[in-house]
Amino acid sequence: MGNNKSQEKRKNQIVLKPNALKAMNDNCCPVCGLHRDSWSRRKDWNCCSTNCTMLFYKNCVIATSWQDMRFQIFKRDNETCQLCGVKASWSFFDCDHKQPIAAGGEMWDKDNLQTLCESCHKIKTKSDRVVIKNYASPEDIKRLLREVEEDGYAVRRPYES
């Protein structure tokens, strides 16, 4: 799925919480909401003040990469497969979308993600195929995957603040 160019682009993206993304698109500080016109620092930065910059990652960022998200879910699930309960090792587990993206599932929603061991993931992938088949036509699936690939969900470039 996708070409090298879009994969290259994704490396430099972080994922923002929807309200933070909306604030930035509205020219406001993503942390406190102050409009850019009222900032007393450089307007090309991402936050209105040093204080807000310090809170930026904690308050506004869902993940800095897919790898980061995967790590967060792995830790949250206590490194345990959520279907069979086996301890999963970092190098040998899958971060699974409970509701597949191609069936309308949210790519970056932590509630839609779970840790699975390799064998459970194989079983889950088989059942996903049925869910996806009943949900959308092959053309729909291609379009959905392309949208995720190109735009992602609340995805922005990184910050220099």
Residue 119 CB, shortest distance to Zn ion, in Å, is: 6
The single-letter code of the amino acid at 91 is: S
Which residue's structure tokens are 């919480």?
17
CA separation for the pair 149, 141 (Å, rounded) = 12
Residue 44 CB, shortest distance to Zn ion, in Å, is: 15
Binding to Zn ion (CB under 5 A) within 8-47 occurs at 29, 31-32, 34
CB under 8 Å to 37, separation ≥6 — which residues? 27
**Out of 28, 48, 63, 155, the residue judged to bind Zn ion by CB under 5 A:** 48
CB neighbour burial string for 94-125, b if at least 16 within 10 angstroms, e if fewer: bbbbebbbbbebbbbeeeebbbbbeebbeebe
Q: Measured from the CB atom, is 84 or 130 closer to Zn ion?
A: 84
Q: Measured from the CB atom, is 102 or 120 closer to Zn ion?
A: 120
Q: Measured from the CB atom, is 48 or 132 closer to Zn ion?
A: 48
Residue 137 CB, shortest distance to Zn ion, in Å, is: 31
Site stretch for Zn ion (CB under 5 A), options 38-46, 57-65, 79-87, 140-148: 79-87
Answer whether 69's CB lies under 8 Å from 16's CB.
no
Tell me the helices (H) and strands (E) count for the chain, helix number first. 6, 5
Binding to Zn ion (CB under 5 A) within 80-139 occurs at 81, 83-84, 117, 120
Helix residue spans in 77-117 (DSSP H): none
Residue 144 CB, shortest distance to Zn ion, in Å, is: 27
Binding residues (CB under 5 A) for Zn ion: these are 29, 31-32, 34, 48, 52, 81, 83-84, 117, 120
